[in-house]
Amino acid sequence: MSELPRFNAYVNGQWITPSDGRYFETVNPYTAKVWAEVARCTPDDANRAVEAAHAALTTGPWASMTATQRGALVHKLGDLIRDNARELAEYEVRDNGKLLNEMLAQCNYLPQWFYYYGGLADKIEGAVIPIDKPDIFNFTRHEPIGVVAAITPWNSPLLLLSFKLAPALAAGCTLVIKPSEFTSTSTLKLMELVEQAGFPPGVVNVVTGFGAEAGAALVEHPKVAKVAFTGGTESGAYVYQQAAKTLKRCTLELGGKSPNIVFDDAVLDDAVKGAISGIFAATGQTCIAGSRLLVQDGIYDEFVKRLVEFAKSARMGNPMDTSTQVGPVTTPPQYEKILKYIEVAKSEGAEVLLGGGPASGPECGDSKLFVQPTIFGGVHNKMRIAQEEVFGPVLSIIRFKTDEEAVEIANDIAFGLAAGVWTQSIKRALKVSAAIRAGTIWVNTYRAISYLSPFGGYKMSGLGRENGIEGMREYLQTKSVWISTAADVPNPFVMR
C-alpha cells in the first residue's frame, strides 16, 4: 500500500473511490517527485456524478432554494476561499510548478468571483413583454440551464474553474467538474470548502482522471446540458463535436497566439515590461501569452536590445521561493512540445537572441522541466513559430513599418484571444483596438483580468464569454410564459 496522500473524487457530497479502484500519480514539477495519488475515475463514476448533479438540480433543497439563498451560499464559499487562499495556492504550486507569487495572487483574488456572482444571483430579472395580443399576459423567466460539465486545464486550475463555478451556481445550475489530470488536488481541496459552506449534496461534484475517460463521459452524457471548457483548441474542437450530438450548449476558452504591438511612440521601458509579462510570466504557460511581439521599424533595434537585457535578468528557480521569476514547465509533454518548437523556429531561420534550449543548474533543483527564456528575432508571420501556440517561454519578434501593416499581421492568424497595444497616442490606440479581431485588447498594459469584464476568444480562440454579466447569461436560458386572460379559447384551427 502506497504511503502517498490519496485524493478521492467528490460525488453527491461523498468522497468516493474510483469504481475500478485505480489511482494515478501526480508529480511536483520542481522536485520531480510523485507527491500524491489521485482517483482515476471511470465513465461509470462520471455517470454517477451526473446523476447526482441532475437529482440535485431537479429535487431537494437546491432546486427549491430562492436566488437570494443561493447567492448567500456562493458568497460564503468566497469567504472560505479567502480564509484558505494560501493553502489552495500551495496545492496549485505543488501540482503545476507555477510561482507561489502568481498562484497566491490568483487565489487571493478568487473570492471576488464568488462575491460578484453571489450578489448577482437575485438580480437577474425577467421582463413583462408588451405583447401584441390584448388577452394575453406574457413574461420571461431566466432559468438555470441545467447540469454543467466544467472541464479545466492545468495552468490556472482554480482561477479558470471560478470563471465557471461562481456564475453557474449563482444561476442555479449544478456541476460536475473534471480538472486536468496534472492538477487535480486544488480543485479537490476546494470541495472541502464547498462542503463547509453548506451546499447540498450533488450540487458540486468532481471526477478526477483523464480527458478521454471521465471527461469524454461527461461530454457525452445526455443529462449534461452545457459544457464549460478551457483547454487547447484541438481538444476544444473535439469536445464541441461530441457535445453537438446531444445539442449541448458550449463555452470554449481555447488557445491563443496573441500579438503584443509596440509602436514607435511607446514608452519603451513600459513596453519592455509589457512584453516580458506577456511571455515570461507563468513561464509562458498562459492562453493570453503575448507570444508574437510586433515591433515598429524605427525603434526595433533599441527596443529589442532593452528587452533582451531585461529578459536575461529573469531569475529561474524554486516556484515556492518568492524571489523566483520563472519556474519550470508544468508537464513533460509540454516541455517536449516547447523544445520542439524552439527547433522548428531555428530550422525556419529565426534568429536566437536569447536562450534557445533547456535550462539546467542548481537553481533548477531536481527538475528536468526548465526551459531558458527564449527570444527569436527576424521572425515573419508565415513561420510556424509565429502561427502556432507554443505555451511556453518562447517569444517571436516580428518587425513592421506602418499601423496598417501591424493590424494586418496581428489579424493574419487563426486565433483571436487577446492583443497588446503600446502607444502614447489615444487615436492610434482606439483605431488599432477596433481593428484587431480579438476578445481582449490591452493598451499600455498586459495580462489584466477581472471578474467584471467579459473574457473570451474570437475565431479559433473560443466561443462565448466568461466573467461579467455576460458570463452569467451563459448559464441561463430564457422561458417565455403566456397566460390567457380571454373569456374563452378562440378558434383552435388558427394560430393565435
Chain residues that interact with ligand NDP, rule: CB under 6 A: 151-155, 160, 178, 180-181, 210-212, 215-216, 219, 230-232, 235, 238-239, 253-256, 287, 389, 391, 417, 457, 462
Work out how close the CB of 404 gets to ligand NDP at its nearest, in angstroms, rounded to a whole number: 28
CA distances from 318 to 126, 154, 426 (A): 51, 18, 41
Alpha carbon dihedral 27, 31, 286, 298, in 10-degree steps, equals -150
DSSP state of 165: H
Nearer to ligand NDP, 25 or 366 (CB): 25
The alpha carbons of the chain give a radius of gyration, in whole angstroms, of: 24
Which cell numbers in the block locate residue 278? 506577456
389 is catalytic: no
> Given 287, 364, 389, 466, which residue is catalytic?
287
- Of 197 and 329, CB closest to ligand NDP: 329
Residues 99, 262: Cα–Cα separation, whole Å: 27
Q: Which is nearer to ligand NDP, 233 or 318 (CB)?
A: 233
Q: How far is the CB of 184 from ligand NDP (least distance, A)?
A: 8
Strands 418-422 and 440-443: parallel
**Is residue 253 annotated as part of the catalytic site, yes or no?**
yes
- Identify which of residues 264 and 470 has a Cβ nearer to ligand NDP in the complex: 470
Q: How far is the CB of 232 from ligand NDP (least distance, A)?
A: 3
Give the single-character DSSP code of 282: G
Return the closest-CA partner of residue 289 out of 347, 341, 235: 341
**Residue closer to ligand NDP, measured from CB, 28 or 285:** 285
Strand, helix or coil for residue 15: strand
Q: Would you say 19 or 425 has its CB closer to ligand NDP?
A: 19
- Cβ-based nearer residue to ligand NDP, 224 or 287: 287
| CB 145, min distance to ligand NDP, A | 19
The DSSP secondary-structure symbol of 290 reads -
The catalytic residue among 90, 92, 102, 253 is 253
Residue 213 DSSP code? I
Q: What residues pair up with 47 in beta bridges, in sequence order?
A: none
Minimal distance in Å, beta carbon 417 to ligand NDP? 6
| Residue 394 CA neighbour count, 13 Å, CB half | 32
- Min dist CB 159 to ligand NDP, Å, is 9
Contact assessment for residue 382 and residue 393, using Cβ atoms and an 8 Å cutoff: no
Would you say 114 and 84 are in contact if contact means Cβ atoms under 8 Å apart? no
DSSP category for residue 492: T
Any alpha helices (H) in 14-110, and if so which ranges? 43-58, 60-64, 67-83, 85-96, 100-109
CB of 455 to ligand NDP, least distance (A): 7
| SS3 category, 270 | helix
Contact 177, 152 (CB under 8 A): yes
**Would you name the residues annotated as active-site residues?**
253, 287
